């Protein structure tokens, strides 16, 4: 497979992506090609640009330079509606004061597929119900958004993104606010979904379960590859400022990271 072929067949790719905000380089020259079907984790210290990268890849911010390609087409030239049919983003803190029901919040995910004259059809209803089930949120459907816990809200956001029926799912620290049980089940569910997933993660042990990892440091992509190759003790010291080594869980042989202050 040639390099060119790899780039074209990547559902989502960016070249030389940079963003400068009031004189500060938030992202610098990011080259990244997501492979179809994979779960690509994005890790990096606070302020390394993970959320910003997701926003640029979703087309919510315009880069200072560089370009994003969605299914081989320049993102900037695609209508917003088309982008939303292909790609869904779950942001960290999207909240509302409205007394919207969970079902209606998830039904918003059908917006890119509906026109002004098209009514909400049976098929749309089925997709919403499937999305609720996939995000383990069916039992919440009749509840009011404001009365949900942080973890329940996160699952509703994911259900809404799934209701978009996207080929690409971008998640910004989806396990924040979740208790440990839901952190693990959510990550497991996300990885089992038949979509290509880009997920910004805070917990490096959770990141180990991704197919590949991209490491951001001060707005630069400093490593990209399999989790074991990328999260080397040297990398963890230079980028995250911690001493780390791998332990093997005698229970199932899984590798886990243990951290110490240097």
Partner 1 sequence: MNRLLPLGAVALLALLAALLAGIAIGETRLSFEVVAQVLANHLWQAGHVLDPIDAGIIWNYRLPRTLVAAACGAGLATCGVILQALLRNPLAEPYLLGLSAGASTGAVAVGLLGLGGTLLSLSGGAFVGALAAFALVLLLARASGSSHNNAQVILAGIAGSQLFNALTAFLITKSATAEQARGIMFWLLGNLSGVRWPSVWLALPVALLGLVVCLWHRRALDAFTFGADSAASLGVPVRRTQLLLISCAALVTAVMVSIVGAIGFVGLVIPHALRLLLGPGHSRLLPASALGGALFLIVADILSRTLISGQVIPVGVVTALIGAPVFALILISRRGRP
Contact between 58 and partner 1 by CB under 8 A: the answer reads yes
Contact between 49 and partner 1 by CB under 8 A: the answer reads no
Which of the stretches 17-25, 68-76, 111-119, 223-231 binds partner 1 when contact is defined by CB under 8 A?
111-119
Contact between 124 and partner 1 by CB under 8 A: the answer reads no
14: part of which helix (H) or strand (E)? strand 12-21
Least separation in angstroms between residue 237's CB and partner 1 is 35
Phi-psi region of 120 (alpha: psi -120 to 50; beta: other; left: phi over 0): beta
Contact between 169 and partner 1 by CB under 8 A: the answer reads no
Contact between 83 and partner 1 by CB under 8 A: the answer reads yes
* Spatial distance between the Cα atoms of 5 and 163, rounded to a whole number of angstroms: 31
How far, in Å, are 30, 191, 196 from residue 37 at the CA level? 21, 9, 4
Contact between 95 and partner 1 by CB under 8 A: the answer reads yes
Contact between 99 and partner 1 by CB under 8 A: the answer reads yes
In the complex with partner 1, the residue whose CB is nearer, 78 or 215, is 78
Spatial contact of 88 and 131, defined as CB atoms under 8 Å apart: no
Please tell me the count of residues contacting partner 1 according to CB under 8 A.
32
52-82 in b/e burial notation, b at 16+ Cβ within 10 A? bbbbbbbbebebeebebbbbeeebeebeeee
Among residues 29, 35, 100, 218, the one that binds partner 1 under rule CB under 8 A: 100
Contact between 114 and partner 1 by CB under 8 A: the answer reads yes
Contact between 174 and partner 1 by CB under 8 A: the answer reads no
Cα torsion 45, 52, 85, 213 to 10°: value is -30
Least separation in angstroms between residue 97's CB and partner 1 is 6
**∠ CA 14-15-17, rounded to 5°:** 85
Contact between 148 and partner 1 by CB under 8 A: the answer reads no
User: Could you tell me the two tokens for 106?
Assistant: 């998830």
Q: Which residues bind partner 1 (CB under 8 A)?
A: 55, 58-60, 79-85, 87-89, 91, 94-101, 104-105, 108-109, 111-112, 114, 116, 164
């Amino acid at each position: 497979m040639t390099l060119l072929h790899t780039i074209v067949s990547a559902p989502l790719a960016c070249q030389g992506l940079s963003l400068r905000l009031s004189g500060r380089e938030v992202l610098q020259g990011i080259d990244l090609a997501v492979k179809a079907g994979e779960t690509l984790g994005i890790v990096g210290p606070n302020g390394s640009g993970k959320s910003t990268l997701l926003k640029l890849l979703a087309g919510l911010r315009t880069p200072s330079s560089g370009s994003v390609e969605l299914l081989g087409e320049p993102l900037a030239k695609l209508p917003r509606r088309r982008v939303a049919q292909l790609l869904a983003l779950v942001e960290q803190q999207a909240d509302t004061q409205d007394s919207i029901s969970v079902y209606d919040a998830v039904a918003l995910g059908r917006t890119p597929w509906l026109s002004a004259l098209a009514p909400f059809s049976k098929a749309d209803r089925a997709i919403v119900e499937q999305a609720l089930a996939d995000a383990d949120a069916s039992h919440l459907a009749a509840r009011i958004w404001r009365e949900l816990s942080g973890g329940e809200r996160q699952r509703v956001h994911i259900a809404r993104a799934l209701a978009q029926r996207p080929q690409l799912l971008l998640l910004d620290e989806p396990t924040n606010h979740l208790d440990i049980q839901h952190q693990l089940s959510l990550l497991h569910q996300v990885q089992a979904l038949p979509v290509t997933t880009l997920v910004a993660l805070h917990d490096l042990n959770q990141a180990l379960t991704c197919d590949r990892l991209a490491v951001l440091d001060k707005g630069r992509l400093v490593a990209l590859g399999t989790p074991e190759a990328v999260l080397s003790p040297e990398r963890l010291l230079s980028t995250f400022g911690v001493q780390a080594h791998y332990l093997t869980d005698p229970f199932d042989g899984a590798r886990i990271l243990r951290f110490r202050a240097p």
